[in-house]
Structure 1
Amino acid sequence: MPALDDLSLLIEAARRSGEIATSFTGKTAQRWDKPDDAGPVTEADLAVNAMLHQTLTAARPDYGWLSEESDDGTRRLGQRDLFIVDPIDGTRSFIEGSDTWSHSLAIARDGRITAAVVFLPMLDRLYAAAAGAGATLNGQSISVSDIATLPEATVLATKPVMEMQHWTKGDPGFKRAHRPSLAYRLGLVGQGRFDGMVTLRKSWEWDIAAGALIVTEAGGQCTDRTGQPLRFNNPDPRLNGVVAGGDAVHAALLSGLAQTQATP
């Protein structure tokens, strides 16, 4: 099964990423601020990205490449298969010395994710999924929660998501929690540790691709903020927000959201 072969490749690459990243000390790693307030990048991000590009494209030379830390172009748009990579998701957390940053690696075929890994080396948590084969955490099968209503639910979201203008009836009623890495948030939803996740901002494909498959292979739903299916390898690699959760929570979140455009 090609997706399982690709998954094995991603798992090995994710573990190597962890070895490289943890060889740097977050607070002392050399860092820069990206143009246009795009956030920080460190020498660890760049070292992981270089290894991933070399290793993955050598193993699959006909696959395209999309990474937060690589210059983008149009060549990938004509390629059926695509690596979608965030070398370190949660760079600010890495800089702060936190343990909740992750490596997010995925493969898309014809716009759909087929293999995915989210690895948190400081916590030794490796989420993995292949299309049609289910999702795992450290090799054990995982599934989304079966919470049925928003008042029972705890949802991962930033404070701005809770502002009343985003919800048709004001306070959506769920309990809010937060983790800095979008990929990790989706892994936690797939694990059933949290009941849903919402982000209303435009979201980069590399932040979402791996976690989206983990949620769906764990039995959940993961769409954009309007309920449309997520498609990857877009000319503009940003998605119109993301809503994830078990069937009931996902439906309730979509029903409660005011359908306005995602903010940049």
Structure 2
Amino acid sequence: MPVTDLKLLCDAAEEAGKIALRYWQRDPKAWDKEDGAGPVSEADLAVNTMLEQNLRAARPDYGWLSEESVDDPARVDAEQAFIIDPIDGTRAFLHGDGGFAHALAVAQAGRIVAGVVHLPALGMTYSATINGPALLNGAPITTGNRAEIDGAEVLTSKLSDNPSQWKRGVPGYHRHFRSSLAWRMCLVAEGKFDATISLRPAWEWDTAAASLIAERAGLVSTDRQGKALRFNAPVPQSNGLVVANPALHAAFLNELSVWPG
């Protein structure tokens, strides 16, 4: 990984934010994707176009995986690959909520080696490299150390309240929600919440950048079965997501039902 990759991602994320804010709270055109894949807007596509043009021009030998681009299977054979979510939290974006993010990462040999999660409306930029600290606006962040699920502050969806997802019934955590999965992971990385879990399949573009930030802050990020996250896979999706400090992560894995994947 060239030492300039993190700066490249940060600069691209800043430009993405400028584009997104030109549409934000101005009633951009939006529509639903096929197969219940959620909403997309003209802002998502404008950001994606800029990112693909700029990043691929800067690193023409890197593969490309983005939520808003047609997948090119050749990316799997690339030594490095960009993994991009042009706007993570499109629902929040369309409702005028500032909790949307641009999530940009570089993967190498299945691992994320540089990642940026930028929230332009909130003036927040999380970042990390594989050998450096997790940062928020340039300052180091660290996670909390809560070990018990009961009483934990957890970012997740209503699906987590379904008893079928748990071995012994729903634990006594306090559920919170943010539209952007990348931001949820970063909020845990900075200790604002104790954990985030997703009991649905999680796409790589939602988790790639933030997984490195979480790791460098001291968190463990796996699928719901405890398998390590790997990136730039042929099918770019994990079987759910569990992100927490090591003790709390182990507690969640002990309580969650095992679903095939």
When the two structures are superposed, what TM-score results if normalisation uses the length of structure 1? Answer: 0.96
Amino acid at match of 1:77: V
Residue 240 of structure 1 is matched in structure 2 by 239
Aligned twin of 1:161: 160
C-alpha distance in 2 between matches for 1:122 and 1:4:
28
Alignment check: 8 A CA contact 2:143 2:190 kept:
yes
**Do 1:3 and 1:114's aligned partners in 2 also have CA atoms closer than 8 Å?**
no
- Extract structure 1 runs of 4+ deviating beyond 6 A: none
Correspondence for 2:131: 132
The answer to whether the 8 A contact 2:155-2:195 is kept is yes
Matches within 5 A, 1:218-237: 218-237=217-236
1:177 alignment counterpart:
176
| CA distance, structure 1, for counterparts of residue 152 and residue 128 of structure 2 | 24
Separation in 2, partners of 1:37, 1:164 = 24
Partner residue, 2:102: 103
- What residue in structure 2 maps to residue 35 of structure 1? 34
Letter in 1 for 2:127: A
Q: Which deviates further from its counterpart, 141-150 or 23-32?
A: 23-32
**1:208 counterpart residue number:** 207
1:188 aligns with 2:190: no
SS in 1 for 2:227: coil
* Mapped partners of 1:157, 1:220: distance in 2: 16
Superimposed CA distance per residue, residues 68-125 of structure 1 (whole angstroms, 9 cap, x where no aligned partner)? 0000021101101000000000111111111101101011001100000011111111
TM-score after normalising by structure 2: 0.97
- DSSP-derived class of the 1:198 partner: strand
> Residue 122 of structure 2 corresponds to which residue in structure 1?
123
Counterpart AA for 1:168: K
Unaligned 5+ runs, structure 1: none
Distance 1:92 1:214, change over 3 A: same
Q: Which amino acid aligns with 2:19?
A: I
- Contact map agreement 1:3 1:115 (CA 8 A) in 2: no
CA RMSD of aligned residues (A): 1.2
Aligned 8 A contact 1:27 1:96 in 2? no
SS of the equivalent of 1:151 reads: coil
Match of 1:149 in 2: 148
In the TM superposition, what whole-angstrom CA distance separates every residue of 1:141-173 from its partner, at most 9, and x where no partner exists? Answer: 001111121124211110111211111111212
After alignment, is 171-180 or 203-212 more displaced? 171-180
Instruction: State how far apart, in whole Å, the 1-side matches of 2:250 and 2:131 are.
Output: 23
Map 1:13-52 onto structure 2 (within 5 A): 13-26=12-25, 28-52=27-51
Partner of 1:53, secondary structure, is helix
Aligned to 1:63: 62
* Structure 2 CA distance for aligned equivalents of residues 4 and 228 of structure 1: 29
SS at match of 2:102: strand
Partner of 1:81: 80
For structure 2, the 5+ residue unaligned runs are: none
**One-letter code of the match for 1:133?**
G
Indicate if the aligned counterparts of 2:87 and 2:101 stay in contact, CA closer than 8 A: yes
Closer, same or farther in 2 for the Cα pair 1:56/1:3, shift >3 Å? Answer: same
Q: Which residue of 1 is the match for residue 196 of structure 2? A: 197
Identity of aligned residues (%): 48
Aligned residues: 261
User: Cα offset for 1:4?
Assistant: 4.3
